[in-house]
Chains A and B, each alone.
Chain A
Amino acid sequence: MIRISAKWTERIAFFFLLVSTLIIIIPVILITVMIIQKGLPAMNLEFLTESPRLGMRAGGIFPAILGTVYLVLGTMVFALPIGILAAIYLSEYARDNWLTRAIDLAIVNLAGVPSVVYGLFGLGLFVIFLNFGTSILAGSLTLAIMSLPVIITASREALGTVPQSFREVSLALGATRWQTIRRVVLPNALPGIMTGTVLALSRAAGETAPILFTVAAFYLPKLPQSVFDQCMALPYHLYVIATQVPKIKPHVQYGTALVLIVMVLVMNLSAILIRAHFRKKKHW
């Protein structure tokens, strides 16, 4: 057997490491370029502000954009307060005992439940058992429970980065525990909480399976009037026009994909900007 020198083994190994990295990175770039290139021609005012016509083949995707915005807002309304309170409990109150470990386990498992199972759960609980029907309310609640683990984990981490001395000083001045949390800990952790929340919401915006049976409509002639109405949503609309509408022009499909990606990216970018902005202001 020929012995390859250590130097050459390293070169060969690093070459393969580079190749595997490129196999992952290049498709990401190709996909992005493809969606932008083929989706951009669809972009015009009509596409963004009007309803679909001719069985989704013409017109715009405005109801789907609006529906996704409603769902994201609804998700935020339900998930943010509970998420922050839960994170406060875990960061400020919880001791190292069996209950805390059980909560940790539950969070990890909630994060791992497949999105379609959330859809089933939302259907069983909100749509049928609580009788909300297929509605924005049911969809938002389903997405909110799905987003909780991400928001809790991020908020808890943000609370954890606030130095212990801040709390001690506040308590030493005679503030109660809750006053300390509200006036000292929370304001300092807010950027981290916002970043985590926006990331969780951007994920919720792109989800399809949880909204399939809880809210999403194939096509609606008019915009939703209340939280008990169904709505169209971008991810589901893309699914519909990608699989169930024959002879549709590709630029409508790519255009929808582009709008969805841009929405998700704008949310991601704003999360990154929030983080960067507040990091500069931190003095500790």
Chain B
Amino acid sequence: MESARKPWNRALEFLIERAIFFAGIISIFFVILIFVFLLKEGVSLLKTYPLKDFIFGQKWYPISEPPSFGVVPLLLGSLAVTMGAIVIAVPLGMGAAIYIAVVAPGWLKEILKATVEFLAAIPSIVLGFIGLVTLVPLVKQVFHLTTGLTAISGSIMLAFMAMPTIVSMMEDALTAVPRSYREGAIAMGATKWQMIWRVLLPAASSGMLAAIMLGIGRVIGETMAVLMITGNAARIPTSLFQPVRTMTATIAAEMGEAVQGSDHYFALFAIGIVLFIITFLINLAAGFFIGRAHHK
């Protein structure tokens, strides 16, 4: 090609390839940048507030005098809501994934997949709003509570919101199992269910574990819906039937009022660090399982 030999074209090409390289590594840059900025603001809290009191403190009273910035109630709030959600979401999601991947006839399969994808597209704020007007009164009535704004409402809502992640990824994992495995089992006289239970599930286990990990990551990071329906009481939860406050909801609810550069402001960034580290570890674990699934 003639044009390629012209010097400015070569220079241009050199510049573009440099740009491509920098864009390529920009993800690494952003991950580091996010962590650095959280750290820069979060660590400022330690100038006036001891780390030990943040990590082990059992009271979150950001605007009392003197304030307490103990992260424990928020961490436990997040854990309670997340565990509840996972207990609900994993069996249901697994059932649905198996049904869609193996049992449902072709036409129904497509409809079900489209519906799950549609659920993934609904913004979390819309689901939070619907949860607030439908699920919260329902929970109040069914469990005879004084308020429906509880951890369990959040768990149910989050289980629902994690479904697209869990179902789609598990379905992919099941579909990725070689056909010969399934045909072999059926040819040996196994029923379809025996084939699923004894062959398909064990073969897809790594992918399914990855789906669960990513589901947990999705749940623990969800903000708006939990903010709207878990009642926002920052105290250590003793049951799922009381209001709780998650880490995400705390940041979303209080950052608007926190004075820039105040301890309260820094403390919210410190919570951000905790969240960042937790999701980082969860994603590492998910990546590990995905890697294992691919090596099989």
List chain A positions with a Cβ less than 8 A from chain B. Answer: 6-7, 9-10, 13-14, 16-21, 23-25, 27-29, 31-32, 34-35, 81-83, 85-86, 88-90, 92-94, 99, 102-103, 105-121, 123-125, 128-129, 145, 148-149, 152, 173-179, 202-203, 205-209, 212-213, 235-236, 238-239, 242-243, 250, 253, 257, 260-261, 264-265, 268
- Inter-chain contact B223/A109, CB cutoff 8 Å: no
Contact with A along B122-133 (1 / 0, CB 8 A): 111111111011
Q: Give the A-B contact count at a CB cut-off of 8 A.
A: 266
List chain B positions with a Cβ less than 8 A from chain A. Answer: 1, 4, 13, 16-17, 19-28, 30-31, 33-34, 37-38, 40-41, 91-96, 98-100, 103-104, 112, 115-116, 118-119, 121-130, 132-134, 160, 163, 167, 191-194, 196-197, 214, 217, 220-224, 228, 248, 251-252, 255-256, 260, 268-269, 272, 275-276, 279-280, 282-284, 286-287
Report if A24-B116 is in contact (Cβ < 8 Å); known contacts: A17-B98, A85-B19, A175-B4: yes
Distance, CA A24 to CA B97, complexed state (A): 11
Report if A209-B112 is in contact (Cβ < 8 Å); known contacts: A85-B23, A89-B20, A103-B25: no
- Inter-chain contact B224/A239, CB cutoff 8 Å: yes
Q: Collect the chain B residues with CB atoms within 8 Å of residue A109's CB.
A: 31, 279-280, 283-284
Q: Collect the chain A residues with CB atoms within 8 Å of residue B21's CB.
A: 89, 93
- Inter-chain contact A208/B123, CB cutoff 8 Å: yes
Report if A115-B37 is in contact (Cβ < 8 Å); known contacts: A108-B286, A260-B126: no
Which single residue of chain B is at the shortest CB-CB distance from A237?
B125
Q: Collect the chain B residues with CB atoms within 8 Å of residue A212's CB.
A: 252, 255-256
- Inter-chain contact B103/A120, CB cutoff 8 Å: no
Which single residue of chain B is at the shortest CB-CB distance from A17?
B99
- Inter-chain contact B279/A114, CB cutoff 8 Å: yes
Further 8 A-B residue pairs, CB within 8 A, beyond A81-B23, A261-B122: A20-B93, A20-B99, A25-B96, A88-B24, A108-B287, A117-B34, A121-B37, A175-B4
- Inter-chain contact A24/B160, CB cutoff 8 Å: yes
Q: Collect the chain B residues with CB atoms within 8 Å of residue A107's CB.
A: 27
Which single residue of chain B is at the shortest CB-CB distance from A22?
B96
- Inter-chain contact B191/A6, CB cutoff 8 Å: yes
Q: Collect the chain B residues with CB atoms within 8 Å of residue A213's CB.
A: 255-256
- Inter-chain contact A257/B251, CB cutoff 8 Å: no
Q: Collect the chain B residues with CB atoms within 8 Å of residue A129's CB.
A: 37
- Inter-chain contact A24/B96, CB cutoff 8 Å: yes
- Inter-chain contact A253/B34, CB cutoff 8 Å: no
- Inter-chain contact B103/A17, CB cutoff 8 Å: yes
Q: Collect the chain B residues with CB atoms within 8 Å of residue A120's CB.
A: 37-38, 41, 251, 255, 268-269, 272
User: Which one of B4, B126, B127, B260 has the greatest number of beta carbons of chain A within 10 Å?
Assistant: B126
Q: Collect the chain B residues with CB atoms within 8 Å of residue A103's CB.
A: 24-25, 27-28
